[in-house]
Amino acid sequence: MIFKTKLVGLQRGEQTGVDRYGNPIYGPDIEVPFYGELRPLVGDENLVNRELVITRFRMFIPRTVIFTAFDKVRYDGKDYQFVGHPEPHNIGGRIHHHEVVVERATG
């Protein structure tokens, strides 16, 4: 696996307080640049109005970069949401990389 695509991970910032309903308020995202790999999966669109388009990629992350399901990734100036937690993949009994599906909805 060759990690040659420059990506920017956006980890959720520190909690800075709570709103009047008790929900946490977070500071700005923390940018984490890294090299990974993106492979296209599928794109969906709303056939009625054609206003909603969802694009999905499978992202491969080096084992040294740690993200959670609450993080995002920026690729080519566009932000993509994680769909679930990144999954570790083992080769030879060791973690080789992590994989996660990311998506972007527009419209």
pTM metric for this prediction:
0.82
What are 2-15's pLDDT values in tens digits? Answer: 789 999 999 999 99
Q: What is the pLDDT of residue 49?
A: 67
Q: Count the domains in the chain.
A: 1
Domain of 53 in residue numbering reads as: 5-106
What are 21-66's pLDDT values in tens digits? Answer: 999 999 999 999 999 999 999 776 666 766 788 889 999 999 999 9
Rounded (5°) CA angle 33-34-35: 145
Complete DSSP assignment for 63-82: TT----TT-EEEETTEEEEE
Q: Residue 46 to residues 39, 41, 52, 65, 106: CA-CA distances in angstroms?
A: 23, 17, 5, 35, 11
Q: What is the CATH number of the domain that holds 89?
A: 2.40.10.370
Residue 107 reports pLDDT greater than 90 = no
Q: What is the pLDDT of residue 47?
A: 64
Locate the DSSP E strands across the chain: 5-11, 15-18, 24-26, 30-45, 53-62, 72-75, 78-91, 94-106
